[in-house]
Structure 1
Amino acid sequence: MTEVMAAAWRRHLPDVLAHVAGRAATVDQAVHPGDDGATGPRDLLRLLGQRNLLGLGAEPGDTGVAEVACLIELIAAECLSSAFSFWAHRMVIEYLREAGRDTPLGRLRAGLAAGTEVGSTAMAAALQERAGMRPVPVVATPHAGGYRLDGPIRWASNLVPGAAVVLPARVGDGGGRIVAVVRVGDPGVAVAPPRRLLALNATASSSITLTGAQVDAGHVVTDDLAAFVRRVRPVLLLLQTAFCLGLAGRALDEARRLIRGEGAVLVPDLEEAAARLAEAAEQARRAQHAPAAADPREITRLRYDAAQLTLAATRLEATASGGRGYATDTPANRRLREAAFLPVQSPSETQLRWELSQPATWPPPRHTATQPASTEPCRRARPS
C-alpha cells in the first residue's frame, strides 16, 4: 500500500467513528441482533465496505496490517462490539487472500471486501490443535465432489443468515486436515439460539452444529492446515491486540479526565498502565508492518499482555468513575463488561498462558522485520 493510499482512508475516520460512537449504547443493549437491524454486524460492515475500508492491507503485494489494525483500534475505542465484528469479518478476508479472482472463494472475498457479504471466523479449534492442545472436532468425510462435515463449532460470531463461516475439519481418522467455507442457513448447518451475554450481544455469537453439511471442492480453502495457520495466526493475534489497545487506551483517557482531588491516589496506577500501553503499542506497530517476520512467541506474549492491560485499564476507569461506573447504562461500565470477554475469547487466557508455558513450538521468524518509520499509537489520531 502506497503512502498516498494509506493516508486516503483516514479521511473517512470522522464519519465512521461518529457512526460507531452514536450507536454504541444501542448496540450494547441489543439482545438478539436482527439480520439488517442497526445493532447487528451488517450495518457497520456495509458502511465500511462503502468506504473501501474492509480490505485495508489485504491487496496483492500488501505485507503489513498496520492500517487495518489502526482502524480496528480506533473503532474499539468507541465500541468493542463493533470492532469485534469487524475483526471477525476481516479475518475471513485474510483467510481467502490466496483465492483466485474468478473462483467461488475469490468472488466471496470480493463480496466480503465490499460489505455485501458477512464473514465469520471459526478457526479457534485449528489454533488449539496446532498448539498441541486438542484435535479439531469437525470431521470431514470425502463425498462426491467434496466433503460431508459433521461436528461442533463451539463458538463463532457474525452468525447472521447467509454469513460465510470458515472452519477447520479433520479428514476421517487420518492426519488430513482441510479448511472450508459453509453458510449460515445451509442444510446441516444449525446455529444454536444465542445466549444472553455480559456484553457483545450484538456480535451475533453462538455455537454451530454441523450434521451432514455438504461442501464442494470449490469451497475448500486449503488442505494444508499447518501452513495455513502459520500464515494467518500472526495477523489474527495482532488484530486482536489492536482492539485490546483501543479499548485500554480509551479507558485510560477517561480515567485521566476523572482523576482529581482525593482521586489523585490513583495517579500511580494510571501512570503505570499508560507506560504499559505505550510499550505494547510500540511492539504492536513494529509487528504489524511485517507480521510474517515477527517472532510468533512474542506475538503470543503481546496478545496476552494487551488483554491483561485492558482488564486493568477498564477497572481503573470504573474505579475513578465511582458509583457511576457501577451503573450498567454508562460507557465506563460498558467498557468494563466488554473487557471481561477477553479472558475467554479464543485464544483464551488459559490457552495463551499454556502456550507460553511450553517450549517454543512455532517456527522462528524467517527474516528480520524492518523498523517502521513511526510507531506512534494510532489512537492519538482519533478525532475529538
Structure 2
Amino acid sequence: MDRRHFILKSGLAGGAALAGATLAAPAIAQESPSIRWRMTSSFPNTLDTLFGSSQFFAKSVSDLTDGKFRIDVFPAGELVPGLAALDAVGDQTVEGAHTVLYYYVGKDPTFAIGSSIPFGLNARQQNAWLYNGGGNEAIDSFLEPYNVVARPGGNTGTQMGGWFRKEINSVQDLNGLKMRIAGIAGQVLAPLGVIGQQLAGGDVYPALERGTLDATEFVGPYDDEKLGFYQVAPYYYYPAFWEAGPTVHYVFNKQKYDELPASYRAALDTVSRACNISMLADYDVKNMQAIRSLVGKGVQLRPLPRDVLDASYDSSQALYKQLGETNPRWKAMFDPWNQFRSQSYEWFRVAEFTNDTYAYSKQASGQ
C-alpha cells in the first residue's frame, strides 16, 4: 500500500468514526430528556417538616438528574384540595402527590393499612414491613385500579392523641364528642360515641375555635404548636394508638412513572427512601423540643385513660374481623400484615421493650 492510498483510507475511516460520534451525540442526549412534573401536597406550606420534605424531594431529584428532571411542588389547595391529591394523580391532573394513604379510606378502608391503623406498627416495624416484609408490593398491587404507584416518603413516629376542649376521665366522656380524626380510627371510635370527621390540616383550627369540633388530632408537638391548637383546646392527650408509625407516601401516576427513563425512576425511588429516613429523624428532634415548649405555655398533658384504650382495642379488633369477612381487598393485605405484626411484636418485646422500659424508668426517676 503506497503512502497516498494509506492516508486516503485512514482519512475515510477517521471521517466515518467522526460521523459516528456526531450521530451518537443526539442518541445520548435522548437518554436524558428534560422532563417537568407537577406535584401537589396534602399539606399547607406552613408545616415546614411535612411540606418541606416534598421541596427537598424535588430538589434532590433535580440534583441527581443534572437538572433534567424537575418537579414543581404545590401546597394543599393551590392546585387541588389536600384530600383530593390521589384522584388528581390518577387522572393526570398532576403527575405526583405527597400525601397519606389513609386520607382515602372513604374509597376503601384498605388504604389505611399502607399508612397506619389502630394498634399497628411503630415506625421501625412499619419500615421493615414496607421494604422487606412485602408491604410495598402489596400496596402497589392494591393501587393498580387507581392508576398510581406509591413510595414511602416519610414517617412522623408515634403521634399524639390530640387536643380536647374538655378533660377526658373515662370512656363515657367520649360520647357525642366531635373529633377530627384520620384514617379508620373514626370507625374504631364511633361505637364509643365519637363523631369522627376528616378535615385537611388548614381547616382544623377554625373548626376547633368555632366549636364545630370538640377535639382534634393532627401530628405531634412540633406541628401542633405551629398550628396553634393549644390556644383553643388546653388538654393534650397521648398516645395516638391509631398512628404508632404512620407512613407518608409519594404517589405517582403509573403511566407517567412507567414512561420515565430507568435512571429517573431510580432517582424517585432513592430520594423517597431518603425522605422517609430524614423526616422521622427531623420529627424526633423537633418534637422533643416542642413538647417542653407546650408544657411551658400551660398545656395540660394527659395520658388517655386505660378504659379508653381497652374499649378502642376491642372495637378495632371487631372492625378488622368484620372487614375481613366483607372486603376481599382488605383481607388480602391485612392477613399477611397481621402475621407480620404478631411476629414483630414478639421480637420487639424481647429486646427493644425491655431495654427502653428500664432506661426510661431510670431517667424518669432522675438517675
Does the alignment reach a TM-score above 0.5? Answer: no
Q: TM-score range by the shorter chain?
A: under 0.3
TM-score (normalizing by structure 1): 0.27
Give the number of the structure whose residues are more often helix, by fraction.
2
TM-score (normalizing by structure 2): 0.28
Answer with 1 or 2: which has the greater Rg. Answer: 2
* Higher RCO (Cα < 8 Å, 6 or more apart): 2
